[in-house]
Structure 1
Amino acid sequence: MGTKVLGTNLFSSLNIEKETKRWNQLYKIIAEPKLDIIPTPRECVWKKNKTTLWYHPAKEKKHAVPIFLVYSLLNKVYILDIGEGNSVVGGLTERGYDVYLLDWGSPGLEDSNITLDNYILDYLEKGIKRALRHSGAKEISLAGYCLGGTVAAIVTSITDLPIKNLTLAAVPIDFSIGIVPDKWLEGLQKGDLSFDQFAEAHETIPSEFLYLMFRMLSPVYGSPKINLITRAHDEEYVEKWRRMDKWTKDTASFAGAAFKQMFNDLYKDNKLLKGELVIGGKKVDLKNITCPLFVFSCSRDTLVLEQQSLPVIDLVSSEDKTYEVYDGGHVSLALTGVFAEIWDKWLSTRSIDQQKELVKLYGI
């Protein structure tokens, strides 16, 4: 009569080496401090208040027109420079672009009166001007991501600065739809819901509140641990997960005046889409945008829906305009560095100094 040992089939089906690696990795994540994000080589070329303009030189310069990157006011900008091998900034410098990255910083209580007008004119427009001066270039390409794309489109429509190309990734333009709950939008639009008192009470919106708000609205901010447990044996995946986890929990604070203006002018009244938004006394009319335009959305974006981005194509006056949809989520393309490849494919033929090319070809 044979003896059957309980659990034999269970243990024989396990890959002991794989399981050991999985649990060692999980222990490492729990026990070790958060990752240090090492940026692509850079230098500070301008500062204003909490905002810094970083210059990342091309490894081997191939393009005459530099790129100016603009990210959301609500999150930390290092999602675009998340680490070697996955950095959007690094991918662009490797492809021969000089890159300028505007880091908005995180406002304190003393910054509660900063408005969207201030951010767009006193920080973004002046930052672009400083990048042009520093680079010596006659023109610059503006690349905006998420809400950074919204403010990039706004500044392009009202500035006299030489914006050669405008590229917008996962950009909200139509604020009448989106991930904000329907009841919130309906309440805002009818005037039954207002964030004014909340903003006035806090003066500057705490980063903890914004993190909870994003986590509630999108699963991206949950940094799901189930996925981590099932793939903890994969060192490359764990490294990306740790970077994502650090970034999602590292939300910026937000100036109260800008917070009120964003919800009232954009979400409540949808003024950008309607052509009724006024910044610095200038009416924001997207028809004023005439430079080449590239817009792309992500098929699995849970933060900015494709329907929010698409209207910009019909609102601008650009003759050279492209709209594409890529397979991915809102931040996954940034985490994998694929943004650099996407931007380069479109920008490379549009980043030429035409005068220098004529001299080179014809000696004129």
Structure 2
Amino acid sequence: MAENLISEGAPRHKARVHPSKDPGLALEPCDQPPGDASDERLDRLVRAALAAATGGVSPATLWLAWLDWAMHLAVSPGKLYALMQAPPQVQARQAGPAPLRAGDPRFADPGWAHWPYDWLRDAFLRTESFWHEATTGLPGVSPHHEAVVNFAARQWVDMLSPSNFGWVNPEALRIAAETGGANFVAGARNWLEDQQGVIAGIAPGITRRQRAHHAVGKDVAITPGTVVYRNGLIELIQYAPQTPAVWREPVLIVPSWILKYYILDLSPHNSLVRYLVANGHTVFMISWRNPGRDGRDLGLDDYLEDGLFAAMARVREITANAPIHVAGYCLGGTLAAIGGATLGRDGEGKDAELKTATLFAAQTDFGEPGELGLFIDASELAYLEALMWEQGYLDGRQLANAFQLLHARDLMWSRLTREYLLGRRAQATDLMTWNADTTRLPYRLHSETLEYLYLHNRLAEGRLCVHGRPIVLADLKLPMFVVGTERDHVSPWPSVYKLRLLTWAPISFLLSSGGHNAGIVSEPGHGGRHYRFSAGSEDARYLSPGEWFAQTPVTNGSWWPCWQHWLAAHSTGKIAPPAADVNLGAAPGTYVLEP
């Protein structure tokens, strides 16, 4: 991969000045994969062993964060005095129960309102509040270290919640009395089943039996289509038309390489693909191959060239060179933005290959990645790179565990309480099954994603290079539809919204209710859904995220029709459905089925 980097001394947020055209910005050789000298290999072996023992978490990051916090707390007598005035035992003497966090399911059972359980609950909540106050708002502590310490303290406190222990959980004790302890027997059986899943390599949160209820190609990912292109990295699926005529411009969907593509083609009732073809769109979908050790050196350049650009070339060949509505989800959206900026930079008609770009919960500025940023610093990357160097990839279960840790209260402790203490298995949904269908990430791709995008934010700063030259998002001049979700722990919506600072392109921005996944899979007829939307224009005044949120009215229902109408408005009439001259097999293809 031949890349050049702009000097690290380049000013932040100069994306509107093209670095390759500015003589004041010197280019220097690009980063290369780590060498394999004997001393470097020994260092990596040690770091890889430590990373395997700690679940990929760098002990150095934790110790430095705690040391930073402790030293600044030691020289902050005012903060110490305030904490001593309100420790949990002092708060316990105050009148009234401790406040519950909104949406906290752990203490919803009525039994927690009676002694002694209410005393245990309130003591825990006051302890939780105390440690939150102790680990935030301390002058001098770096923001990253403060976030790490606060996160670590929350994990330890959540682990000690009385709801996690059967002998002091009133709901578990009541059910045990009613069933003769059958809930604990069922919980033990659930635990054994989960351990079998761990041995079999199944991601946490779902069992082998639950996965069987949503088989790929049988129950989910069943919209009719054919594979019309295949290379060593992708399969390209063209979905069968469901209308006599279709819009001239096709839709190419670029999913994230972190999980399988069929989140956008789940069951028939909540398939975005089916919805689009039912409304007259020709839809193509990229299906990424699940890499093994032999794919260790696949990087961002490969995913751009052999992934996005190869798919675009085949789509245009099938559709008589019609410009494409490209739509990317999560990191697939980031890749689509990189590709669009590359075509805009190169000019010479290449920018005409795209008609519009849609980004679903996709960041282009990674300066505020939310709690995911807790796992991203130089030390953490050194441990992860050592771990991946030995494997050749990052295993999907390792990634799933990291995401589960971000929301341990809901995704881990509440689930373990329900399944092990109450003996209840949640009914598996198609979305849960998809979430557990993990993929591996190539060593080089994951390293470059974390270093170039998350750690150094090169895309937003105009320092990410493609074909040896830097790209800037200001070269995105096509109409854009950008979707954020209100409760996104992967791509926080204010971070997604930042694209408005990086390009003059007309951006229509939509904020959907829900999280990173459920906010996108928001089919018509799904109750309780709403969104905010503002149409983009080139002369629109910039509003901060808070101003935009306050000024944009709420619309009840699914946002899918809003996007579909936008696509239709940016299309140029209908034609007979285009047909491919190659059929490599029926959808969902073979790559999505690879373990």
TM-score by length of 1: 0.79
Partner residue, 1:213:
402
In the alignment, the residues of structure 1 paired with residue 460 and residue 486 of structure 2 have an alpha-carbon distance, to the nearest angstrom, of 22
The aligned amino acid for 1:343 is W
Instruction: State the one-letter code of the partner of 1:167.
Output: T
What is the CA–CA distance in structure 2 between the aligned matches of 1:31 and 1:199, rounded to whole Å? 30
Is residue 2:485 matched to residue 1:298?
yes
> Is structure 2 residue 335 aligned with structure 1 residue 151?
yes
CA positional deviation for 1:175: 1.5
Matches within 5 A, 1:21-40: 33-37=212-216, 38=220, 39-40=222-223
Which residue does 1:328 correspond to in 2?
A: 514
Equivalent position of 1:172 in the other structure = 363
Measure how far apart 1:273 and its partner are.
0.9
Matched, 1:127 2:316: no
Residue 108 (structure 1) shift: 1.2
* 1:350 counterpart = 2:570: yes
What is the aligned-residue identity percentage?
23
| CA contact 2:512–2:520 (8 Å) conserved in 1 | no
Partner of 1:232: none
Code of the residue aligned with 2:450 in structure 1: it is F
Equivalences for residues 64-213 of structure 1 within 5 A: 64-159=248-343, 160=350, 162-180=353-371, 183-185=374-376, 187-188=377-378, 193-194=381-382, 195-213=384-402
**CA separation of 1:158 and 1:355: change in aligned 2, threshold 3 A:** farther
The offset of 1:333, in angstroms, is: 3.4
The 5 A counterparts of 1:303-314 are 303-314=490-501
1:258 aligns with 2:449: no
Q: How much does 1:302 deviate?
A: 2.1
SS of equivalent to 2:504: coil
Counterpart AA for 2:513: D
On the 8 A contact 1:88/1:334 being kept in 2, the answer is no
Indicate conservation of the 8 Å contact 1:165/1:292, yes or no.
Answer: yes
2:402 maps to a residue whose letter is M
What is the root-mean-square deviation in Å for CA atoms of aligned residues? 3.0
1:277 shift after superposition: 0.5
Equivalence map 1:251-290=2 (5 Å): 251-290=438-477
Alignment of 1:216-227 (within 5 A): 216-218=405-407, 225=415
Q: Deviations over 1:322-354 (max 9, x none)?
A: 112122221113434356434203211002159
DSSP 3-state at the match of 1:311: helix
Within the alignment, does 1:341 sit opposite 2:527 as a pair? no
The answer to whether the Cα contact below 8 Å between 1:223 and 1:248 also exists between their aligned partners in 2 is no
C-alpha contact (below 8 Å) 1:179/1:217 kept by paired residues: no
Please report how far the alpha carbon of residue 222 of structure 1 lies from its aligned counterpart in structure 2 after TM superposition.
5.7
Q: Which residue of 2 aligns with 1:42?
A: 225
Partners of 1:354 and 1:152 lie apart in 2 by 25
Gaps of 5+ in 1: 1-9, 11-25, 230-236, 357-364
State the Cα deviation string for residues 155-208 of structure 1 (Å, max 9, x = none). 0011225100011111112222223455544x33xx675232222122121122
Distance verdict in 2 for CA 1:58–1:192, change over 3 Å: closer
Superposition deviation, residue 251 in structure 1:
1.1
The equivalent residue for 1:16 is none
Cα deviation, residue 82, structure 1: 0.5
Whether contact under 8 Å (1:265, 1:277) holds in the other structure is: yes
Residue aligned with 2:224, SS: coil
Task: Name the SS for the 2:270 alignment partner.
Answer: coil
**Post-superposition shift, 1:31?**
5.5
Give CA deviations for 1:10-59 in whole Å, capped at 9, x if unaligned: 9xxxxxxxxxxxxxxx9xx9866331244200100101114110001331
Instruction: Compare CA radii of gyration and give the structure with the larger one.
Output: 2
